[in-house]
Amino acid sequence: MSKRVLTQLVSAVVVASCVLGASAVWSVVRSSSASEDVQPAAEICVLRWFLSNSRTSSVATIPAFSYGNTPMVPIAGDWDGVGGDTPGVYNPDTQTFHLRNDFAGGVGQVNITFGSSGDKPIVGDWDGNGRDEVGVYSPLTGTFLRRLADGSTSPLAYGAKFAVPVVGDWDGNGVSDVGVYRPEGTAFDLRLPDGATRTLVYGNVGDKPLIGDWRGDGRDEPGLYRPGNRTFYFRVSGIDPPETTESVTFGDTGDKPLVGDWDGAGGSSQGVVKVLP
Ligand SMILES: [Ca+2]
Ligand SMILES: [Ca+2]
Ligand SMILES: [Ca+2]
Ligand SMILES: [Ca+2]
């Protein structure tokens, strides 16, 4: 074995130990094989953010910054109602959101404890005042627990249990709506404000769902990230037919994709979060 290959293998092991939003995996890793039980139980890895204000740019347009660490889950939202979307992280171990209103990294400017063990973080403008709030999706009950600005909780059950939650403003009334993505059917089920469901079959098996307002018309629509070719797909035509999709290749294999209106100009664009030792 050449030294070069050995280095790559070691590197791969280190990266694999940086588990994003899934600290429970450790018990599996450690018990699977005694001979492999050489990694630290909870290596802390840093989240490094690469965001682009251009949906056609394959390089970041915002200077990279570090914010959060494993096992935190990266999120984005317009927490202050000005200047577009900025980073946040959700720590599943402490059920705490840490939010920032800039791209400087550091520590959270707003910290909110919400949710229960096993919940997934969600972001939306639940009251339509132009500022995003946080919430969690409870897989056990299939319920969206929307945390309102006054700290109260507004629950909304939708879809099957253990679904993949999505949030967006499907009708453009300023209030975020919910939906679920069904990976096996590559289908988005979008809950309209009247309770009806709009189903969109979109993408391929293995794609990861994204939601954004690609053209900045005030209505959110689906997008996809395809890990195999590191490509973002934006359904710019919205949720109504006919479909028009634009795409951009961005980031590296293993990156965590996310989207946001980083410059506040009205349209969402891509970014990735890398997990670095
Ligand atoms: Ca903002
Ligand atoms: Ca709001
Ligand atoms: Ca809406
Ligand atoms: Ca739109």
pLDDT tens digit sequence for 118-172: 999 999 999 999 999 999 999 999 999 999 999 999 999 999 999 999 999 999 9
- Mean pLDDT, to the nearest integer, of 26-48? 57
| Nearest ligand atom owner, CA of 88 | 1
Number of domains in the chain: 1
Query: What number of residues does the chain have?
Result: 277
Consecutive H or E run containing 49: strand 46-51
Distance CA 277, CA 270 (A): 23
Residue 40 confidence (pLDDT): 53
Q: Which tens digits make up the pLDDT trace of 210-230?
A: 999 999 999 999 999 999 999
Distance 107 CA to ligand 3 centre (A): 32
In the predicted model, is pLDDT for residue 12 greater than 60? Answer: no
Band of residue 34 on the pLDDT scale cut at 50, 70, 90: very low
Residue 251 confidence (pLDDT): 98
Distance 79 CA to ligand 1 centre (A): 5
- 220 touches 238 (CB < 8 A): no
Structure tokens given for 36: 């492999």
Locate tokens 């030792």: which residue? 277
- 212 touches 260 (CB < 8 A): yes
- Mean pLDDT, to the nearest integer, of 61-84? 97
Distance 230 CA to ligand 1 centre (A): 27
Mean of pLDDT over the chain: 89
Residue 250: inside a domain: yes
Residue 23: inside a domain: no
Distance 121 CA to ligand 4 centre (A): 23
Residue 43 confidence (pLDDT): 85
Residue 38 confidence (pLDDT): 52
Q: DSSP state, 2?
A: -
3-class secondary structure, 25: helix
CATH number assigned to the domain comprising residue 93: 2.120.10
Distance 122 CA to ligand 2 centre (A): 13
Residue 120: inside a domain: yes
The residue ranking higher by pLDDT, 36 or 145, is 145
Distance 149 CA to ligand 1 centre (A): 15
| Nearest ligand atom owner, CA of 168 | 3
Residue 31: inside a domain: no
Residue 195 confidence (pLDDT): 97
Distance 101 CA to ligand 3 centre (A): 24
Q: Which tens digits make up the pLDDT trace of 163-213?
A: 999 999 999 999 999 999 999 999 999 999 999 999 999 999 999 999 999
Residue 229: inside a domain: yes
- Residue numbers of the domain that contains 84: 44-276
Residue 19: inside a domain: no
Distance 46 CA to ligand 2 centre (A): 29
Distance CA 237, CA 212 (A): 12
**Whose CA is closest to 259, among 58, 101, 61, 75?**
75
- 186 touches 207 (CB < 8 A): yes
In the predicted model, is pLDDT for residue 3 greater than 80? Answer: no
Q: Are strands 133-138 and 143-147 parallel, antiparallel or unpaired?
A: antiparallel
Residue 70: inside a domain: yes
Residue 10 confidence (pLDDT): 35
Consecutive H or E run containing 11: helix 3-16
- Mean pLDDT, to the nearest integer, of 36-58? 84
Distance 174 CA to ligand 4 centre (A): 12
Residue 29: inside a domain: no
